[in-house]
């Protein structure tokens, strides 16, 4: 690299990646019916995840104002609670609810993540702005407007993830939640391109949080509230930008002090495709099992083998099983191949072997199966000890193939008498685009069951009737929609 004058105070033009994000958010028109249809299901699925999270005390303790008494009458409402909060804290709350159980949508590429995490910021700002507009006689955003912003947030996060691996430099994927939420939140608050660039520059200057809490030996519940934290930070940047805060045009490229040199090993971002609606159209739904997505097909394989394994266990116990062979993608091997004691819920739902052992034994995998009560069954760890995990190169190739985006796994169980089960191999799970028609009824069943546990029957019936008429649902004001989920 040639000489760089670090003393020069000449302010450069904004870095191109920040300009591209601003141009997309402001100028791009979404004309994909598939994207809107998928976004509608994504919204319902995310609210189902929020409803289910309310059954977990560790999630609920995060909800409400940052300090007692700091509620905001007329502020953004938090689903399935009576809280009304400022939009930044509301973004944290909703983000925590959606993400807590690791059951919301997923995107897998060079980076991994959950683009519906961005709904924390989008729903908070939409409800805050809508309620404010109602009091002042202004126009209120519709559900379709929310879906449009969600499509753009998904696209920003997902397109960055296609070629840029933040996990390989030790940073957590929620850096992209903060980026996407910052950009669309600024637009929702009335910001133009300059304000979006300013807000995004602050997002990059924040750098990123470490992935420490996602990996052994430090896996812990912060991974369930990290996305909410990113949403809260994004709203803060957006609010500052629309008030006229100064931006930092070379936040990425500044020598020594910029993100590339400081945090990304001097690499510049790479992009596979321009921003459009690709990510929402290809998003992966978690609708069968609350399992880290690299393991979804492994769980499905194990479920299909449950009857055979259970029969052997009933016959002669664990001694009947000699070994269990698991094949996965390189990413799965790197993230969720885990041996030794598992300390907590968060440790277990990111352990491939645990997520296979439970369905082999019980023929199920639910959120409750990560709790201490199920984990205390000694057969689980005994089966984990018999598992051999290795990479299948084809699974890895198909994982990165933009025309496939498979998440393949295989499971085979070998017995001491020399026999074995068939090798069950599944390339893509029920939530994949190629199984969308098969998956939507399961997604809607997930939604109905989740909200029936939290809302009055009459409200649930009205919501289900609305979901059957998408045009009416999308035309509804966001405040009326959010009102269904608010408790008095």
Region label for 413, one of left (φ > 0), alpha (ψ between -120 and 50) or beta (otherwise): beta
Which domains does the chain possess?
A: 16-281 (1.10.4100.10), 293-429 (3.30.1330.120)
**Residue 142 φ/ψ, nearest 5 degrees:** -95, 170
Question: Taking the chain, what is the end-to-end CA distance rounded to the nearest angstrom?
Answer: 62
- What's the pLDDT at 341? 94
Estimate to the nearest angstrom the gap between the alpha carbon of 163 and the chain centroid: 18
User: Token pair of 25, please?
Assistant: 């958010």
Helices 119-136 and 87-99 meet at what angle, rounded to 10? 140
**Residue 98 φ/ψ, nearest 5 degrees:** -65, -35
How many beta carbons lie within 10 A of that of residue 325, not counting itself? 16
Which H or E run contains 324? strand 321-328
CB 339 within 8 A of CB 347: no
How many beta carbons lie within 10 A of that of residue 406, not counting itself? 23
- What's the pLDDT at 4? 58
Angle CA 369–373–377, to nearest 5: 85
CB 258 within 8 A of CB 250: yes
What is the secondary structure of 8-29 as a DSSP string?
--PPPPPPHHHHHHHHHHHHPP
Mean pLDDT of the region 75-79: 98
Look at residue 73 and tell me whether its pLDDT is greater than 90.
yes
Give 265-321 pLDDT, tens digit per residue: 999 999 999 999 999 999 999 998 888 889 999 999 999 999 999 999 888 889 999
What's the whole-model pTM score? 0.88
Give 439-455 pLDDT, tens digit per residue: 999 999 999 999 999 99
- What's the pLDDT at 3? 54
- What's the pLDDT at 2? 47
Kindly report the length of the chain: 488
């Amino acid at each position: 690299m040639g000489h760089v004058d670090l003393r020069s105070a000449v302010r450069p033009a904004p870095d191109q990646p920040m300009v591209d994000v601003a141009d997309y958010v402001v100028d791009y028109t979404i004309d994909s019916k598939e994207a809107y249809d998928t976004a509608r299901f994504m919204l319902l699925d995310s609210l189902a995840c929020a409803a289910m999270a309310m059954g977990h005390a560790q999630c609920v303790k995060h909800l409400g104002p940052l300090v007692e008494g700091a509620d905001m009458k007329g502020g953004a409402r938090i689903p399935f609670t009576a809280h009304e909060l400022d939009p930044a804290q509301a973004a944290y709350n909703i983000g925590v609810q959606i993400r807590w159980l690791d059951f919301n949508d997923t995107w897998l590429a060079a980076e991994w993540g959950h683009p519906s995490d961005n709904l924390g910021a989008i729903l908070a700002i939409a409800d805050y702005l809508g309620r404010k507009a109602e009091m002042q006689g202004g126009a209120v955003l519709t559900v379709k407007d929310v879906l449009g912003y969600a499509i753009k947030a998904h696209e920003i996060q997902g397109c960055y993830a296609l070629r840029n691996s933040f996990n390989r430099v030790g940073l957590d994927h929620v850096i992209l939640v903060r980026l996407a939420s910052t950009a669309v939140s600024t637009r929702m608050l009335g910001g133009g391109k300059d304000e979006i660039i300013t807000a995004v520059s602050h997002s990059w200057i924040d750098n990123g949080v470490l992935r420490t809490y996602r990996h052994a030996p430090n896996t812990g519940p912060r991974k369930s509230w990290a996305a909410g934290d990113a949403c809260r930070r994004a709203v803060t940047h957006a609010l500052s930008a629309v008030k006229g805060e100064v931006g930092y045009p070379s936040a990425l490229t500044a020598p020594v002090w910029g993100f590339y040199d400081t945090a990304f090993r001097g690499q510049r971002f790479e992009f596979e495709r321009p921003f459009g609606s690709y990510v929402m159209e290809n998003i992966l739904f978690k609708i069968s099992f609350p399992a880290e997505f690299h393991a979804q097909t492994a769980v499905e394989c194990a479920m299909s083998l449950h009857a055979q394994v259970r029969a052997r266990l009933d016959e002669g116990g664990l001694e009947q099983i000699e070994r269990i062979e698991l094949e996965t993608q390189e990413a799965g091997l790197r993230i969720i191949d885990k041996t030794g004691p598992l300390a907590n819920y968060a440790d277990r739902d990111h352990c491939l072997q645990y997520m296979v052992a439970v369905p082999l034994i019980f023929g199920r995998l639910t959120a409750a199966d990560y709790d201490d009560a199920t984990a205390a069954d000694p057969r689980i760890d005994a089966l984990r000890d018999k598992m051999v995990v290795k990479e299948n190169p084809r699974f890895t190739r198909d994982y990165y193939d933009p025309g496939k985006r498979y998440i393949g796994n295989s499971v085979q169980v070998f017995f001491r008498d020399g026999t074995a089960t068939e090798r069950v191999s599944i390339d893509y799970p029920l939530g994949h685009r190629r199984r969308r028609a098969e998956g939507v009824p399961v997604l809607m069943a997930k939604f109905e069951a989740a909200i029936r546990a939290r809302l009055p029957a009459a409200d649930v019936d009205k919501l289900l009737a609305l979901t059957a008429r998408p045009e009416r649902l999308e035309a509804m004001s966001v405040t009326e929609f959010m009102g269904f989920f608010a408790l008095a």
